[in-house]
């Protein structure tokens, strides 16, 4: 029983240590850029991002994310070049699971 408690505690420490680690600098940069862009273009204060996908294709970081605003609006965002702005598309129907 004591061994199980120790291994559970160790697993929790490992999980917290890895989940609370700071994001890589490049991830912080694109998230800040996306947050600023959606605020500027759509007056959306970002509550959180979901369905984030980051892939490197031909040496470029491709980012896809769903943006959730404080006022419950959602947007799909896409960027395949770090030097270009995000393509942002409003999700007109929040019940649409595709968007």
Three-state SS at 42? helix
What is the pLDDT, as a whole number, of residue 98?
Answer: 59
Grade residue 28 by pLDDT with cuts at 50, 70 and 90: confident
Domain boundaries, the chain: 45-99
Q: Is-above-0.75 flag for pTM?
A: no
| Alpha-carbon gap, residue 52 to 63, rounded angstroms | 7
| Alpha-carbon gap, residue 52 to 48, rounded angstroms | 11
Grade residue 92 by pLDDT with cuts at 50, 70 and 90: confident
Of 97, 98, 85, 80, the residue nearest 42 (C-alpha): 85
């Amino acid at each position: 029983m004591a061994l199980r408690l120790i291994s559970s505690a160790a697993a929790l420490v490992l999980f917290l240590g890895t989940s609370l680690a700071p994001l890589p600098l490049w991830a912080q940069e694109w998230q800040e850029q996306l947050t600023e862009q959606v605020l500027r273009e759509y007056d959306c204060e970002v509550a959180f991002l979901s369905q984030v996908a980051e892939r490197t294709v031909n040496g470029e970081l491709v980012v896809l994310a769903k943006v959730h605003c404080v006022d419950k609006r959602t947007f799909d965002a896409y960027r395949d070049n770090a030097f270009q702005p995000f393509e942002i598309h409003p999700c007109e129907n929040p019940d649409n699971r595709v968007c």
